[in-house]
Amino acid sequence: MDSTFAKNTVEQILTSKPAGITVINEYENTRTLKDSTRRLMVNIIVSHMREKEGRAISKATKEFHALGIVSLFPSLKDPYSKKGYEHFYDFQSNTGFLEWRVKTVQHKFRTSSTPQKKVQFRGGPTLLPRISGTSDDQRTGDECMEAISLLQHTTNCDLVFQKMRETFQYRRQILQDPQISADVLKIFTRFLDVKRLILQDFLLMFGAETASRFPERWTTSFKEKVIQEARSLKGSTVL
């Protein structure tokens, strides 16, 4: 792909709208973008892609615009990834800020056009437990989707723990939905390669005192039960 052409294309998209000029001005003044401004930029670019290609935006188009973003705004490039723009769009995994915005827009369209039946659960494993230790830092909507996208690519361990904490409530909602609960490890893959993330969720769910008993009782109370359960599971790309 031609990075100069991609850069000029993104610049033309942004300069054609007052909000886009705000994005460019902020970068020129600070050499970076606030999270809210980055979301604004992503929204503008996704809106443009939808105008050009409709609801079925090709992977090549999303990758082209991701390249354009980091070419126009070099400090937004990820120095630890292969191409530097995978956090905006990763062709292989079909994830990134641009993809999450596309999915959010599509979901809003489907929700507004199709009546949704609300399922009410009354106890058992679907009953939400009392949550301890959570605060107002929980992400929702586009912010939550961006946090999940960032988790897919960041190598900063402290940032992984922060974003996993900020998406805790969303993760709880997934676990209560029988249609998607089995996909929680596909969405939050960092559980598989970062230690102590499960313990952090226990802390948020039950509080420090109760969560601290989990490692103490692992060998005597939980280990054998988990092994037996694992043996009964069918193999998958995650397990």
Instruction: For residue 225, tell me if it sits in a domain.
Output: yes
pLDDT of residue 122: 42
Averaged pLDDT, 91-109? 83
Running DSSP on this structure, what letter comes out for residue 90? B
Instruction: For residue 150, tell me if it sits in a domain.
Output: yes
Same domain, 145 and 210: yes
Same domain, 235 and 140: yes
User: Of 58, 86, 104, which one is at a domain's C-terminal end?
Assistant: 104
Same domain, 76 and 146: no
Same domain, 86 and 161: no
Between 223 and 158, residue with greater pLDDT = 158
Instruction: For residue 130, tell me if it sits in a domain.
Output: no
With cut-offs at 50, 70 and 90, classify the pLDDT of residue 236. low
Same domain, 149 and 235: yes
pLDDT of residue 120: 47
Computed over its alpha carbons, how large is the radius of gyration of the chain? 21
What does the pLDDT look like over 114-154, one tens digit per residue? 454 444 444 444 444 445 445 567 888 777 877 887 787 77
What does the pLDDT look like over 45-89, one tens digit per residue? 999 999 988 888 999 999 999 999 999 999 999 888 889 999 999
- Count of domains forming the chain: 2
pLDDT of residue 70: 96
Same domain, 2 and 98: yes
Does the pLDDT at position 177 exceed 50?
Answer: yes
Instruction: For residue 117, tell me if it sits in a domain.
Output: no
State the Cα–Cα distance between residues 95 and 81, nearest whole angstrom. 14
Instruction: For residue 123, tell me if it sits in a domain.
Output: no
Same domain, 140 and 81: no
State the Cα–Cα distance between residues 29 and 31, nearest whole angstrom. 6
Residues 6 or more apart whose CB falls under 8 angstroms from that of 124 comprise none
Q: How is residue 95 written in tokens? A: 């994830």
Instruction: For residue 78, tell me if it sits in a domain.
Output: yes
| Residue ranges making up the domain that contains 77 | 1-104
pLDDT of residue 86: 92
Instruction: For residue 112, tell me if it sits in a domain.
Output: no
Which residues face 90 on adjacent strands?
A: 95
Percent of the chain residues past pLDDT 90, beyond the cut: 36
Does the pLDDT at position 169 exceed 50?
Answer: yes
What does the pLDDT look like over 187-214, one tens digit per residue? 888 898 898 898 888 888 888 777 777 6
pLDDT of residue 215: 67
Same domain, 228 and 186: yes
Between 140 and 98, residue with greater pLDDT = 98
Same domain, 70 and 157: no
Same domain, 144 and 234: yes
Q: How is residue 101 written in tokens? A: 């915005």
Read off φ and ψ for residue 165, nearest 5 degrees: -65, -45
Where is average pLDDT lowest: 87-96, 114-123, 174-183? 114-123
Q: How is residue 141 written in tokens? A: 């909507």
With cut-offs at 50, 70 and 90, classify the pLDDT of residue 111. low
Instruction: For residue 84, tell me if it sits in a domain.
Output: yes
pLDDT of residue 129: 47
